[in-house]
Structure 1
Amino acid sequence: MRSSSNLLKIDSGSAGRTEVRSALATGAFPAIYRRTGGDSVDDSLVRARRMLDEARQDAERIVRDAREEAGRLLREARDEAEAIRSEAFRSGYDDGLSKAASDLSSEIEGLVNALRSARDAILAQKRDMMKAAEQELIELALEIASRIIRREIARDSSCVIEVIEDALRHTSGEGMITVRVAETDLERARGALPAFQKLLDGAHDLKILPDPRVEPGGCIVETQFGTVDARPARQFEQIRRSLGDVGGDAGNTPAG
C-alpha cells in the first residue's frame, strides 16, 4: 500500500521552478485535469509565471543600477585622487603629496567598504524579493487550479468515479477496502461498484460509505495497510507543503 503522499509526483526542477501543473496532472487529480484539457490551468500558470518573470526583471534592474552607481562613484573617486595628485605636484610640496596620498587611500578604502555593504544589502533584498515572488506564484497557481478543479467537480458529479478509480490504483494486497465519499456522491459511487471490483480484479471486499469529512468529488480509501486520502482539500494542502520550499533557492543567484 502506498501512502497518500505518493499520489503526488512533484518535480521542483531547478531553483525557482514550480511544477504545479505536473503535480496536478500526475497527482490526485489526473482524471479531472484531463477533463479540463489542462488548458485553463496551463493558461493561469503562464500568467503567474509572467508575474514572476517581471519580479525577476525588477530585481535584476536593481542590481544593475547598483553596479552602475558603484562604478560611477569609483570613477569619481579616481578623478578626485588624480586632481589631488596634480594639485600637490603643482604646489611642489612633498608633504602635501604624502598627505594627499594618505587621505586618498583612506577615502578609497571607505568608499570600497561602503560599496561592498551596499552591494550585499541589494543582493539580500533581491533574494528576499525572489523568495517572496516565488511563494506568491505557488499560492496563486494553487488557488487558480483549486477553483478550476472544484468547478469541474461541480459541473460533472461523475468526476468522483474517476477520482475513486485513481485512488484504488494505489492500493495493493488483499482484504477489505472501504471507500468513503460525500453523501451527495454515495449513490453514484455505489452504482459504479462493479467497475471498481473489476479494477481490483476481485481481490478485495469493497464497501462504499458516506462520510461527512469528505467533500464532493473526493474520497478516502482505507485498507488494512493504510489510507489514501484523495479529498481535494487534502491533496492541495500536500501539494502546497511539497512546493513550499521551492522558492527558497529562487534568489540565490551568484554575485557578479
Structure 2
Amino acid sequence: MSRLIKSRYSIPDHAKQKVISIKHLDSVDPNFEQSREVTQAEYNKMLEIAHQEAETIRMQAIEEAERIRVQLSSEKQNWDIEKVNLIEEAKANGFQIGFEEGKHVGYNEASQYIQQARDTVNASKMDYGKYLQSAESTILELAIEVAEKIINDKIKEDEQNFLSVVQNALKEVRKQREIQLHVPPIYYELVLAEKEELLQLFPIKPSLFVFPDESLEENGCIIETANGRLDASIDTQLFMIKEKLLEVLESEEG
C-alpha cells in the first residue's frame, strides 16, 4: 500500500530539472559611462571647493587666534598695571587704616597704662599714709633714741656741750632766788669752774649751789628750787618731747 502511495505522488527526475541559460553582454551602456564621468568631475569640483573653504576657515582661525592673542596680551599688560595700582592702593589704604587703628589702639592702651599708673600711685600714697599713721609713734621713738645718742656722743666729744644743757636748764628758773644744781660727778668740777659765768644768766644773782649726784646718768641734770624740782636731763627732755609729739599725733588721728 505504501509503495502504491509513494509511486502515485512521486515526481519524475526529469521533471525536477530547470535549465538556466547565461546571457552575454558584449558592450556597456554609453549613457551609464557618461553618467559616471560627470559624477567624478562634480566630486573633484566639490573636493576643490572644500579644500578652498577649509583653507579659508584655517586662515580665518589663524587670524582670529592672533587677534585674540594680541587682545589677551594687551589685556594682560593692562591687568598687570591695574594689579600694581590696586596693590599700591591697597597697601596705602591698609597702611592708613592700620596706622589709624594702631594709633587708636595705642592711645587706648597708653591711657589704660597711665590710669593704672595713677591708680597705683594713689594706692601707694594711701598705703604709705596709712603706714605712716600706724608707724609714726615707732618712728618718733626711733627719732628720740637717735637724737639721744647723738647728743650723748656730742657731750662726750666736748664737755662744753654739757654746759649748754645746764645753761638752758637754768634759764627756766631765772626768777628763783635760791637754786640747787645737781650734776653727774664727772662734770662737777667743770660746772663748778663755770659757776660765775652761769650766774650771768640771771638778772639778779641768786644763791647757786652745785652738788655732784652719783644717781644721775652722764647727761643728767637736776635743778631744785623753792617751787619744786626740774629734771633737765637729756633723757628726760627727750622723753617729754616724745610725749608731746605723741599727743599731737593722737589728736590729729582723732
TM-score, normalising length: structure 2:
0.47
* Larger relative helix fraction: 2
